[in-house]
Amino acid sequence: MLEPKQLYKRLEAVFDGLEHHGSSERFAAQLAPRVLDKLGRPLGLTTAHLYRRDERSIALTNRWGQGRPDLSAELARRLLGDGTRDITDLPWAGEMAPGRVGLVPASEDDAFLMALFLADGGALVGAPSPAQLASVLTSLHYAFGQHLKRRELEDIFAQARAIQLSLLPHARPSFGDFDIAAHSVPAESVGGDVYDFIHVDHDTLGLTVADSSGHGLPAALQARDVITGLRMGVERDLKLQRLAEKLNRIIHRSGMVSRFISLWFGELEKNGNLTYINAGHPPPMLRDHRGITELTVGGMLLGPQPDAAYKLGFAHLDRGATLAVFTDGVIERGIEHGDGFGEARVRSWMDDWPAGPAHDAVADLFARLTRFDGGSPMEDDVTVVYVHRPA
């Protein structure tokens, strides 16, 4: 018999990389030979059969390993037989006509049953007793259930990831003579950071970066709601202050009182005029011939206070100026191990890329972030938007 740690390692190997596409039969037909391969030698298993079952019949559909007799008739009698049924719970292990056999469901809908045969007569030295085999099969069945739950969660995350990616711009915006680039990397499969470019009118481009507290699925869904709300507000020609206040009330009423969102939203005109609101977001940096200015005007985070008020900020992108909007995942990179990447390094990066190109500048910042903490995974979602107005 396997030691518990070795058993669970082998159970993990059974389900590692198992495909879920197709029918229940296809899934069960993948599972059975894997069980025989990973558990066969240490448990003395020589054969695996796959049976289809319903309320009235059981039929053999596939077999692997050594030739052993079809158990369809005996299984039907012992599992379905009226008045003669003596196997009531699965997983089960015990003696059947060919010798010692273990039974375990092989599909989520219980439409398929796997039978595992020990060596003839259970004569293999060290072969498990019926109780021991039943214990192993119970662990296998539990691992199967956990695997299905994990796959279900992964499917949910994949759907959320698809939703999030569908909200992000599919291409760099073409707006006047501005050079614009952006990039976002979630800490998990989905994240709470999001950015957007909204064409308000022919001469005005909306720039958005938002960061929902935390990361993962709840943060991603809330960030999605903010982007959707912004787009709807812009379409209805809502003023920036009114739009921010309306979003704040919606988020507050959402019931997710433990969550909040920082948001920076600006409207950039082709002549360089910039009107913006900073709702508790790390201040974007505007670099021009005067140096670097932080864009701080606005108000508090969206969500905590339903009656929060927001002020408009004003700036101007002169020719040769550069604007960088980012989330706190940039400045807090590596903070768990020290002081973090920090604003000073962001300023140094901007000084090194005063004129773009925007795509290369953004790529360089992410390279610096990666090197800063030794290439370790991002602890938080990271998003950057870079805007340059050529001289």
Average pLDDT across the chain, whole number: 87
Question: Which run of H or E residues covers position 214?
Answer: none
What pLDDT score does 122 carry?
A: 43
Question: Which one-letter DSSP state was computed for residue 337?
Answer: G
| Cut 0.75: pTM above it | no
Residues 348 and 204 in one domain: yes
Regarding whether 39 and 98 lie in a shared domain, the answer is yes
Question: HEC states along 124-158?
Answer: CCCCCCHHHHHHHHHHHHHHHHHHHHHHHHHHHHH
Q: Tell which of 99, 124, 158 closes a domain.
A: 158
- The residue ranking higher by pLDDT, 170 or 108, is 108
pLDDT tens for each residue of 72-104: 999 999 999 877 789 989 999 999 988 899 999
My answer on whether 78 and 184 are in the same domain is no
- Please name the residues in contact with 203: beta carbons below 8 A apart, sequence gap of 6 or more: 269, 270, 271
Task: Determine, yes or no, domain membership for 138.
Answer: yes
Assign residue 223 a region (left: φ > 0; alpha: ψ between -120 and 50; beta: otherwise): alpha
CB-based contacts of 214, cutoff 8 Å, min separation 6: 192, 259
In this structure, of 49-63, 200-214, 235-249, 348-362, the range with the lowest mean pLDDT score is 235-249
Instruction: Report if residue 304 sits inside a domain.
Output: yes
Kindly tell me if the per-residue pLDDT of 129 is higher than 90: no
Please give the tally of structural domains in the chain.
Answer: 2
Asked if the model's pLDDT at residue 123 lies above 50, the reply is no
CATH number at 187 reads 3.60.40.10
Q: Is residue 145 part of a domain?
A: yes
In angstroms, the CA 271 to CA 300 distance is: 29
| Model pLDDT for residues 59-75, shown as the tens digit of each residue | 999 999 999 999 999 99
pLDDT band at 215 (very low <50, low <70, confident <90, very high): low
Residues 94 and 136 in one domain: yes
206 φ, ψ (degrees, to nearest 5)? -85, 130
Task: Report CA dihedral (19, 21, 24, 27) to the nearest 10 degrees.
Answer: -20
> Which pLDDT score is estimated for 17?
80
- Tell me: pLDDT of 257 over 70: no
Domain boundary at 133, 158, 183, which?
158
Helix axes 342-352, 358-372, angle to 10 degrees: 140
pLDDT band with cut points at 50, 70 and 90 for residue 49 = very high
Evaluate if residue 357 carries a pLDDT over 50.
yes
Same domain for 135 and 191, yes or no, is no
Out of 6-10, 67-71, 151-155, the most confident range is: 67-71
Most confident by average pLDDT, 253-262, 322-331, 377-386: 322-331
Predicted local confidence at residue 303, as pLDDT? 85
Do 127 and 186 belong to one domain? no
Place of tokens 């299984």: 75
Q: What percent of the chain has pLDDT over 70?
A: 92
Do residues 153 and 177 both lie within one domain? no
The pLDDT assigned to 82 comes to: 73
Judge whether residue 217 has pLDDT over 70: no
What is the mean predicted confidence (pLDDT) over 350-355?
96
Q: What is the mean pLDDT of residues 118-136?
A: 73
Q: Please tell me whether residues 190 and 317 are part of one structural domain.
A: yes
| 149 and 73 share one domain | yes
Q: Which of 158, 191, 225 lies at the terminal end of a domain, its last residue?
A: 158
* Per-residue buried b or exposed e for 264-299, using 16+ beta carbons within 10 Å of the residue's own CB: bbbbbbeebebbbbbbbbbbbbbbbeeeeeebeebb
Does a structural domain hold residue 163?
Answer: no
Q: Is residue 290 part of a domain?
A: yes
Domain match, 44 and 123 both? yes
Residue type, 276: Y
- In this model, does residue 320 exceed pLDDT 80? yes
What is the residue-wise DSSP string for 252-316? HHTS-TT--EEEEEEEEETTSEEEEEEESPPPPEEEETTEEEE---EESPBSS-TT-----EEEE
Structural domain boundaries, residue 211:
168-388
Is there a single domain that holds both residue 148 and residue 265? no
Q: Are 199 and 298 members of one domain?
A: yes
Q: For residues 56 and 81, give the distance between their C-alpha atoms in angstroms, rounded to a whole number.
A: 9
**What is the spatial distance between Cα 81 and Cα 90, in angstroms, rounded to a whole number?**
16
Question: Does the residue 42 lie in any domain?
Answer: yes
pLDDT at 125 over 70: no
Within a domain: 51: yes
Range in 60-64, 117-121, 160-164, 359-363 the model is least confident about: 160-164
- CATH number for 67: 3.30.450
DSSP 378: P
